[in-house]
Amino acid sequence: MVETSDQWILERTGIRERHIADPSMATSDMAIHAARCALEQRGVAPSEIDTIIVCTVTPDHMFPSTACLVQNGLGARGAWGFDLIAACSSFVYGLTTGAHLVAAGTHRKVLVIGADTMSRIIDYTDRATCVLFGDGAGAMLLEPAAEGEGLGFIDFLGEVDGSGGDYLKMPAGGSRLPSSHETVDKRLHYVHQDGGQVFKYAVRKMYEVCRDLLARNGIAAADLAVMIPHQANLRIINAVSDRLGIDPAHVLVNIDRYGNTTAGTIPLATRDAICQGKLKKGDLVLFAAVGAGYTVGASLWKWAY
């Protein structure tokens, strides 16, 4: 549908394959499945969940929130929750929000889910975006760390820069440009991106936020067991890790198998890091992302599971 090739896509993005959800599957369906996987691994019943945070830019509906649908689908009676929209930074923001709920002592089990069906908002006649995105979901369960082990959440550093809002957005469908024949005809309900601007900003800000967060906590890049960045573009990941001085062997990359799944990339990559033996109990892990908005975030954890 567009002038491209497998070689062109691979060289510029690092993507070899992507997964596209069946037309009958919505974001909440993927989110529920990912949540069940996480709960089963910990032996936790849905009824024990205090809060559900669904990180997504592709909710099932404008309202009710996808978190409501997930709560009902899981049978998580008594849980409250909400959707969190921060584009590709959503899951990092969700983890930080959940960590603070647990740290406050008011919540014991917070379920953070990253799920996006990006194929529903991609214009497959636009080469600038159609080669980048895939569908996927992942989930993490946050709980209080055991007393005296020194495990869990360490610190977070975030930033937003709304001046970059026009460079990556879905123009129509909200209160600014409500849906109409005109917005549909102009293909304004799809992702629109200025790739050059986004690339430059992502490299600079992801590096800066990681550098500053590590410095603030007296941690050297060499101390990290693994860095798990948002999987937007292999060249962005390589540029950031190179500037930080992190050995490529300690940077998790799986964009080749999934593409950019937006809020799904970091939990999917974390699962792969665990399966590959790169992330174990007691390891230092750095999560980092830059997304539309612009949104920027990085968080440090001492892995507890």
- The string of pLDDT tens digits covering residues 272-293 is 999 999 999 999 999 999 999 9
Are residue 158 and residue 290 in the same domain, yes or no? yes
Handedness of CA 31, 276, 302, 209 (dihedral sign): negative
Residue of 113, 121, 106, 132 lying closest to 37 (CA atoms): 113
* CA 236/CA 242 separation, integer angstroms: 10
Are residue 288 and residue 252 in the same domain, yes or no? yes
Residue 90 has pLDDT above 90, yes or no: yes
Are residue 182 and residue 268 in the same domain, yes or no? yes
Helix (H, G, I), strand (E, B) or coil at 123: coil
Are residue 98 and residue 230 in the same domain, yes or no? no
| pTM exceeding 0.85 | yes
Confidence band of 299 (pLDDT split at 50, 70, 90): very high
pLDDT confidence of residue 152 = 96
Q: Is 20 exposed, middle or buried (0-12, 13-18, 19+ CB in 10 A)?
A: middle
Q: What is the DSSP string of 180-246?
A: -HHHHHTTTTS-EE-HHHHHHHHHHHHHHHHHHHHHHTT--GGG-SEEEE--S-HHHHHHHHHHHT-
Give the mean model confidence (pLDDT) for residues 299-305.
Answer: 94
Are residue 189 and residue 87 in the same domain, yes or no? no
Give residue-wise pLDDT tens across range 115-132: 999 999 999 999 989 999
Are residue 157 and residue 229 in the same domain, yes or no? yes
Give residue-wise pLDDT tens across range 194-216: 999 999 999 999 999 999 999 99
Answer for the pair 56, 114: CB distance below 8 angstroms, yes or no.
yes
pLDDT confidence of residue 159 = 98
Lowest mean pLDDT among 149-153, 180-184, 264-268: 149-153
Q: Which domain holds residue 168?
A: 152-302
Domain membership flag for residue 1: no
Answer for the pair 39, 46: CB distance below 8 angstroms, yes or no.
yes
Active site residues: 88, 230, 260
117, 142, 167 - which closes a domain: 142
Give ∠ CA 241-268-200 in degrees, rounded to 5: 35
pLDDT confidence of residue 56 = 98
Q: Report which secondary-structure segment, H or E, holds 159.
A: strand 152-160
Domain membership flag for residue 147: no
The CATH number linked to 68 is 3.40.47.10
pLDDT confidence of residue 147 = 87
pLDDT confidence of residue 158 = 98
Q: How many domains does the chain have?
A: 2
Give residue-wise pLDDT tens across range 17-74: 999 999 999 999 999 999 999 999 999 999 999 999 999 999 999 999 999 999 999 9
Which H, E and C letters describe 81-122, residue by residue? EEEECCHHHHHHHHHHHHHHHHHCCCCCCEEEEEEEEHHHHC
Confidence band of 146 (pLDDT split at 50, 70, 90): confident
- Return the number of other C-beta atoms located less than 10 Å from residue 192's C-beta: 17
Give the mean pLDDT of the chain: 97
